[in-house]
């Protein structure tokens, strides 16, 4: 089984495309090569495949990166399933993971949510989607500063608060306060729970 993330940028028409698209490409390149592992297409849509264990962390890395740009957000559809056909271009690959993710993005556009997951198990989908809806109440309201801190912690998990204070040239106590406001410890727990539930598939 694999995970496929299909997403689109919210409010992309009101932002400098060169800035966010360069940052998104740089992020996705950390995880694999385009266009086989990821691709940006139709201006503001993208698709990316990864290991199922990493999917929540990757979702958060993308979410926090985009939220750290002014007035931007992202819709993300997570599909878990098989890859029955692997092409040199991810957008031409196929299987239940791709179908689940692609159809789900269309549903997200119509129902107004910013993240959802579809697997082969309705009970697991129900549990994880309730969790994602609650979590999104927080994630969708991140300030740019909070999103920046979360992104750094996700991408550099060995960073200490002192490392972050130096990077952002603010006090360590300010970093601590931001991480508390962002419920970072709860985010880490949620990632562990996500992995456990998906391992039951």
Q: Is the pLDDT of residue 188 over 90?
A: yes
pTM: 0.96
Q: List the domain boundaries for the chain.
A: 2-141
Average pLDDT of the residues in 178-193: 94
Q: Is the pLDDT of residue 14 over 90?
A: no
Q: What share of the chain is helix, strand, coil (3-state, %, to 5)?
A: 55, 15, 25
d(CA 168, CA 68): 14
Average pLDDT of the residues in 32-56: 96
Q: Is the pLDDT of residue 43 over 90?
A: no
Buried b (16+ CB within 10 A) or exposed e, 1-22: ebbbbbbbbbebeebeeeebbe
Which pLDDT belongs to residue 39?
97
CB 14 within 8 A of CB 69: no
Average pLDDT of the residues in 82-93: 95
Average pLDDT of the residues in 46-60: 97
Report the 10 Å Cβ neighbour count for 74.
Answer: 26
């Amino acid at each position: 089984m694999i995970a496929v993330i299909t997403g689109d940028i919210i409010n992309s028409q009101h932002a400098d495309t060169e800035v966010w698209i360069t940052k998104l490409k740089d992020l996705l390149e950390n995880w694999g090569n385009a266009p086989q592992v990821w691709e940006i297409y139709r201006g503001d849509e993208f698709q990316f495949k990864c290991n199922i264990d990493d999917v929540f962390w990757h979702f958060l890395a993308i979410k926090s990166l985009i939220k750290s740009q002014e007035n931007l957000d992202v819709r993300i559809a997570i599909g878990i399933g098989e890859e029955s056909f692997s092409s040199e271009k991810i957008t031409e690959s196929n299987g239940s993971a791709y179908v689940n993710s692609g159809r789900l993005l269309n549903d997200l556009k119509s129902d107004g949510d910013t993240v959802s997951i579809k697997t082969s198990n309705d009970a697991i989908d129900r549990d994880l989607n309730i969790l994602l809806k609650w979590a999104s109440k927080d994630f969708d309201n991140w300030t740019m500063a909070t999103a920046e801190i979360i992104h750094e912690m996700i991408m550099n998990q060995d960073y200490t608060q002192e490392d972050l204070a130096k990077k952002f040239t603010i006090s360590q106590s300010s970093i601590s306060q931001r991480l508390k406001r962002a419920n970072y410890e709860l985010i880490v727990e949620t990632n562990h729970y996500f992995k456990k539930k998906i391992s039951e598939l």
